[in-house]
Amino acid sequence: MVSMAQIQEIPSKNMIFLAGPPGIGKSEFCMKTILQNLAIYRPIIYLVTESDLSKVEAKLKDRGLGETEQDLLNFVDAYSETVGLLGMDRLDTVNADCANLSSIGIAIWKLQERIGKKDILLVFDSLTSPYLLNGSEVVRFMRLTLSKFVGEGNSVLACFDEGSGKEEDLVAMMSLSEGVIKMEKEDSRRMLNVMKHPKVEPTRIKIPEAKIPDRLWDMDLWREDTMTIALQSMKGKSYAQLRREVGDLVNLFWPNFVCWSNILWDPKRFPRILYEMSKKHGDSMKEIMSVAPWRQKALFKLLIPKNLSKVKDMKKLAKILQKMYKPMKMGTLEYLDNVSRTDEHYFRVYESGECWGFENVGAAMTLILPSTIAGMCKGVEGWKGLQRDWNAAEVKCIGLGDPYCEIKVVPGAITELNDSLEAIDSTVLEKIHERLRDRLMGFLLENKPLVERPKSGPNVMCNAIMHVMFQPALAGERCRLILRMAGAKAGKEIGEHLMEAGLRRDKAVDSLLNFLEYCKVGKVTIAKTIRIKENCESVFYWFMTKKREEPSCFFTTGFLNGFFSAVNSQHVKEAKCIAMGDPYCKWEFR
């Protein structure tokens, strides 16, 4: 029988390619491989592209890493510089940028020279981020740089997220590797599918199932009066005094740009994250109502039924939903009592803020509203003592060519949900990407409007940002990684397109400033530093949570870093943040 330990003994002069869906445990495999090879005093270069290096080291120590001899364990930090964080300044670490494959090659070479030995194991975790930033150039990088490293008597373990690239590029990466291992799920177990290997025959190995966190929200973050604030929004009030200078509206393009940048980066995971987080947001109604004044609580008890199965009872909740939805300017919500029936309810949305501008792309686009309604149904019934789950999915959508969007809401499971979350394939993503790019470049180069809706207008309330930036960031480090890397990719692409259009660097920066101000992202100034007052990403941390100990503009920092790396070959780091109690968010060039 082939063991995990045998697979993790990466033979010299070989490149092993590890592929699998996001979150299945490839980084865990890499860490165990590192620890096993350190145990035999094999020098390691650990190249990280998707995590803060201090967190990587902490995880290694949690798994048993002790003190290592000098030059035995070295790092290439290709994450910090890419997303605008400050990398570590130490002898065992060389910094690089995922957007610049040459910088990664130079970093590997520097550490190879410093170690001064052969049979080095390079653990590349992972190729996904460089691929998403550089596309098929990564295949050439593997052929020229990694294969050369292997040919000099070393070895490579490189992992990659399946579904993140073109099939032909994945095949090319596999063909360049002496070994190919796929991590797969089979029933409730994870499997290693050893497709080819220089030392063992093709086989399948069972490994323990990856742990999924039980809860996404860290409730210790919330301010004591957060539920009272939420209660005010239930009355149809906006987030009063949230942004006194800029105002509480943002251009609809910005939340959609952020949302789909995140999905473009992680199409398999982020849609489900949005669904789960928005559902929890809706479910918080039971906490909101529990802190309501006694008069309002009594009114809730009188107006809201215990059981929402029947049409006449759902109509009562629908009136509250409509009152809450209207000031958000995300469209017009209507409950379809004429087609709804017991335990099967339908809502229609005209000029949906989540779908507008994406007509006929080939998939349902609305992710936040269905799950919010489902969560509210669960929360209302839970407050009344009825514990059952609710779910929702789009059955009609502007993205599918329909003139409006319709949402089906039911207690329990819903067959359309998985189809809705998984229908966004590479073809659909490319269409969405083209729509966003064409509209944005039309605005930047020709001053065309970003988005127009005949009745609802171009702007929406700031809480649209809350759903796509603030809430996902609370769901864990992986989600914050998505925000950072998606922002870096989006900013880099804008900078590159402006350079290709022939703009001077200063004009490109002026165009960025105009774009951010037009979208009402915040009050932006760019000089020796970048300042954003009332930044719509971090203002929710200040407004709804306790003071943060670290900067929390995850997408904005990645976005600015990607843009300035493409335009001026500069990187930025966030030095001040509203979430930390500062009066504005500030980024320094470096």
Integer Cα distance of 449 and 168 in angstroms = 37
Residue 403 lies in a domain: no
Q: From edge to edge, which strands make up the β-sheet containing 390-396?
A: 332-335, 345-350, 405-411, 390-396
Residue 73 lies in a domain: yes
Enter the tokens of residue 408.
């089906």
Enter the tokens of residue 279.
């559902």
**What are residue 456's phi and psi, to 5 degrees?**
-85, -20
Q: How far is CA 297 from the centre of its chain?
A: 37
Q: Give residue-wise pLDDT tens across range 364-378.
A: 888 899 999 999 899
pLDDT tier for residue 296 given thresholds of 50, 70 and 90? low
What pLDDT was estimated at residue 23?
85
CATH assignment at residue 9: 3.40.50.300
Higher-scoring residue by pLDDT: 244, 334: 334
Answer whether the bond into residue 261 is a cis peptide, omega within 30°. no
Q: What are the residue ranges of helices labelled H in 45-127?
A: 53-62, 80-83, 101-115
Mean pLDDT is lowest, of 31-45, 217-231, 510-524, 549-563, for 217-231
Enter the tokens of residue 233.
């929004």
Q: Give residue-wise pLDDT tens across range 457-495.
A: 999 998 888 889 988 888 877 788 788 888 988 999 999
The residue written with tokens 């001064």 in the block is: 116
- Mean residue pLDDT across the chain: 87
Residue 260 lies in a domain: no
The residue written with tokens 């065992």 in the block is: 92
Higher-scoring residue by pLDDT: 325, 261: 261
The kind and range of the H/E element at 44 are strand 44-48
pLDDT tier for residue 551 given thresholds of 50, 70 and 90? confident
Residue 489 lies in a domain: no
* pLDDT of 212 over the 70 cut: no
Higher-scoring residue by pLDDT: 95, 235: 95
Provide the pairing of β-strand 345-350 with 405-411.
Answer: antiparallel
Q: Answer for the pair 472, 262: CB distance below 8 angstroms, yes or no.
A: yes
Integer Cα distance of 340 and 234 in angstroms = 24
Mean pLDDT across 39-64: 88
Residue 563 lies in a domain: no
Domain total of the chain:
1
Task: Count the Cβ atoms, other than its own, within 10 Å of residue 371.
Answer: 28
Residue 79 lies in a domain: yes
Higher-scoring residue by pLDDT: 126, 383: 126
pLDDT tier for residue 226 given thresholds of 50, 70 and 90? low
Q: Highest-confidence range of 142-156, 289-303, 360-374, 383-397, by mean pLDDT? A: 142-156
What pLDDT was estimated at residue 292?
61
Enter the tokens of residue 192.
């290693």
Q: Give residue-wise pLDDT tens across range 57-111.
A: 988 888 777 776 667 899 999 999 999 887 778 889 999 999 999 999 999 999 9
What is the value of pTM for the model shown? 0.80
Per the structure, the complete domain to which residue 173 belongs is given by: 4-207
Enter the tokens of residue 403.
């003139």
Residue 463 lies in a domain: no
What pLDDT was estimated at residue 481?
78
Residue 234 lies in a domain: no
Higher-scoring residue by pLDDT: 384, 77: 77
Task: Count the Cβ atoms, other than its own, within 10 Å of residue 581.
Answer: 11
pLDDT tier for residue 520 given thresholds of 50, 70 and 90? very high
What pLDDT was estimated at residue 238?
45
pLDDT tier for residue 123 given thresholds of 50, 70 and 90? very high
* pLDDT of 358 over the 70 cut: yes
Q: Highest-confidence range of 51-55, 188-192, 218-222, by mean pLDDT? A: 51-55
* pLDDT of 298 over the 60 cut: yes
pLDDT tier for residue 154 given thresholds of 50, 70 and 90? very high
* pLDDT of 159 over the 80 cut: yes
Q: State the virtual CA torsion across 282, 288, 290, 291 in degrees, nearest 10.
A: 170
The kind and range of the H/E element at 194 are strand 189-196
